[in-house]
Amino acid sequence: MNGWMWLLLAGIFEIGFTTAMKLQQQNESYGIVFLVCVILSFECLSKAIKTIPLSTGYAIWTGIGAVGTLIVGAVLFQETLSPLRMLLLILLIAVLVGLKFATPQKKAA
């Protein structure tokens, strides 16, 4: 699997651990979900930055988490998505895609 796929998985697990953190406020059993997602997210990020520059990998990892968590917040927790928040979300996604295309691929160490 290439670095970008590892990075995508890392971001998905980041969304998982932030969501589990919120759910743990109502039910402490989500603590184990939180821990599993944190470990998997960092492990995937570690694999991703073997072929993706650290700065790009970290920026995209946090961006995936931010975008995904914002969407989860709107869908699961009825958080408001105002037109301004939607515009900023679209801009953030555009920046993340731009970073992907502006980053040269390097060989695994």
DSSP string, the chain: --HHHHHHHHHHHHHHHHHHHHHHTT-TTHHHHHHHHHHHHHHHHHHHTTTS-HHHHHHHHHHHHHHHHHHHHHHHS-----HHHHHHHHHHHHHHHHHHHHSPP----
Cα separation, 107 vs 99, whole angstroms:
18
Report whether pLDDT(104) > 90: no
pLDDT at 50: 95
Question: Which has more pLDDT, 97 or 7?
Answer: 7
For the entire predicted model, the pTM comes to: 0.85
Residue 83's pLDDT band, with cuts at 50, 70 and 90, is very high
